[in-house]
Structure 1
Amino acid sequence: MECIVHFDVHHKDGVKQLRGLIFLPEDKKIPSEKDLLQMFMEMGYKLRMDNRDRMIFTPTEPGSGYEWIRVRELDTGEKTYKEDAELKSLLSNLIPQDFRPI
């Protein structure tokens, strides 16, 4: 399965909107952090995950020509996945984090 990754590269003088492609196994619906980092590495970006909730990556090398990268959308062709940070925050506050048996 293919996943088109739409992302923004934030430079000091502006933002570039780019896309990348990840090939996923049939049993996998969306790419993992490792998949995204591998795609960026193949494109010449050496990054680390800085904010998982907002899908923001920052460069690992000093002096890179960009400040950070944010994944906007993951398109698998079946259903577009857009992360809604507000909804995720709301749900994380409503769902108990401690799963204890009754």
Structure 2
Amino acid sequence: MECIVHFDVHHKDGIKPLRGLIFLQEDRKIPTERDLLQMFEDMGYKLKMDDRDKMIFVPTESSSDYDWIRVRELDTGEKTYKEDSELRSLLSNLMPQDFRPI
């Protein structure tokens, strides 16, 4: 199965939207962090995960000409993952802040 990864590369002078391709095994629906890092490495980006919730990656080399990369969308052809920041904010406000056992 294929997964098209839509991401933004944040340079000092602006944002460049790009896409990458990951081939997944049939039993997996979305790529793992390792899959994403390998795809980026194949494209010449040496990264590490900085924020898992927002899917933000930062360069491991200080000489890179970009600040960070953010994955916007994972398109597998079946179901598309797209971050909905308004929904995330709403849910975080509705969830209890103090988790206690019942």
TM-score, normalisation: structure 2: 0.86
Kindly report which structure 2 residues correspond to 1:1-102, keeping only aligned pairs within 5 A, or say none.
1-88=1-88, 90=91, 94=95
Alpha-carbon distance in 2 for matches of 1:50, 1:85: 18
Alpha-carbon distance in 1 for matches of 2:85, 2:58: 19
Superposed structure 1 runs of 4+ greater than 4 Å apart = none
Residues 20-77 of structure 1, C-alpha deviations (whole Å, 9 max, x = no match) = 0000001101001010000000000000000001000000001101000000000000
CA contact 1:6–1:72 (8 Å) conserved in 2 = yes
Identity of aligned residues (%): 74
What are the ranges of 5 or more consecutive residues in structure 1 without an aligned counterpart? none
Question: What is the RMSD computed on CA atoms of the aligned residues?
Answer: 2.1
What are the ranges of 5 or more consecutive residues in structure 2 without an aligned counterpart? none
Give the length in aligned residue pairs: 101
Alpha-carbon distance in 2 for matches of 1:18, 1:58: 16
TM-score, normalisation: structure 1: 0.86
